[in-house]
A and B are shown apart, each in its own frame.
Chain A
Amino acid sequence: MTEEIIIAGFGGQGVLSMGKILAYSGLMQGQEVSWMPSYGPEMRGGTSNVTVIISDERISSPILTKYDTAIILNQQSLDKFECMVKPGGTLLYDPNGITRHPERKDISIYKVAATQKATEMGAVKVFNMMVLGSYLKIKPIVKMENVIKGLKKSIPARNHHLIPMNEQAIEIGMKEVQQV
Chain B
Amino acid sequence: MEKELRLMKGNEAVAEAAIRSGADAYFGYPITPQSEVIEYLMAQEPHKRTGMVVLQAESEVAAINMIYGAAACGKMAMTSSSSPGISLKQEGISYIAGAELPCLIMNCVRGGPGLGTIQPAQSDYFQSTKGGGHGDYRLVVLAPASVQEMYDFVEIGFDLAFKYRNPVMILADGIIGQMMEKVEIGPQKVRRTMEEVIKQCPWGTTGKPTTRERNIITSLDLVASRQEAFNLKLVKKYDEIKEKEVKYELINCDDAEYIIVAYGSSARLSMKAMDLLRAKGIKTGIVRPITLFPFPSKVLFDLADRVKGFLTVEMSTGQMVEDVRLAVQFKKPVEHYGRVGGVIPSPEEIVNALEQKIIGG
- Overall SS of chain A's interface: mixed
**In this complex, which of A35, A61, A62, A65 has the most chain B Cβ atoms within 10 angstroms of its Cβ?**
A61
Q: What is the bound-complex CA distance between A153 and B180, given in angstroms?
A: 14
A36 contacts the other chain (Cβ, under 8 Å)?
yes
**Interface locus among A26-34, A112-120, A121-129, A169-177:** A26-34
**Interface pair B175/A27, CB less than 8 Å apart:** no
**Cβ contact within 8 Å between A20 and B7:** yes
Contact of B268 among A32, A40, A41, A60 (CB under 8 A): A60
Interchain nearest-CB distance for B68 vs A (Å): 31
Q: Could you tell me if B347 and A33 are in contact, using CB atoms closer than 8 angstroms?
A: no
- Cα A40 to Cα B110 in complex, Å, equals 11
Indicate if B91 sits at the interface (CB-CB under 8 A): no
**1-38 of chain A: CB within 8 A of chain B:** 20, 23-24, 27, 32-37
Instruction: Tell me whether B118 and A23 are in contact (CB under 8 A).
Output: no
A40 lies within 8 A of B118 (CB): yes
Give how many B residues have a beta carbon under 8 Å from the other chain's beta carbons: 27
A62 is contacted by which of B33, B268, B342 (Cβ under 8 Å)? B268
Contact A60–B275 (Cβ < 8 Å): yes
Query: With the chains together, A63 CA to B265 CA distance in Å?
Result: 10
On chain B, the residues within 8 Å of A153 by CB distance are: 6-7
Q: Known contacts A32-B182, A39-B32, A40-B119; is A62 also within 8 Å of B7 by CB?
A: no
Residues of chain A lying within 8 A (CB to CB) of residue B180: 20, 23, 33-36
- When chains A and B are docked, how far (Å) is the Cα of A20 from the Cα of B180? 8
B52 within 8 A of A: no
Interface residues of B in 257-310 (CB under 8 A from A): 265, 268-269, 271-272, 274-275
Tell me which residues from 218 to 273 in chain B have a Cβ below 8 Å from any Cβ of chain A.
265, 268-269, 271-272
Q: Which of A26-76 contact B (CB under 8 A)?
A: 27, 32-37, 39-41, 59-65
Residues of B within 8 A of A (CB): 5-7, 32-33, 117-119, 174-175, 178-182, 265, 268-269, 271-272, 274-275, 342, 344, 346-348
Question: Ordered nearest first, which 5 A-B pairs have the shortest CB separation?
Answer: A60-B271, A61-B272, A35-B180, A60-B272, A36-B179
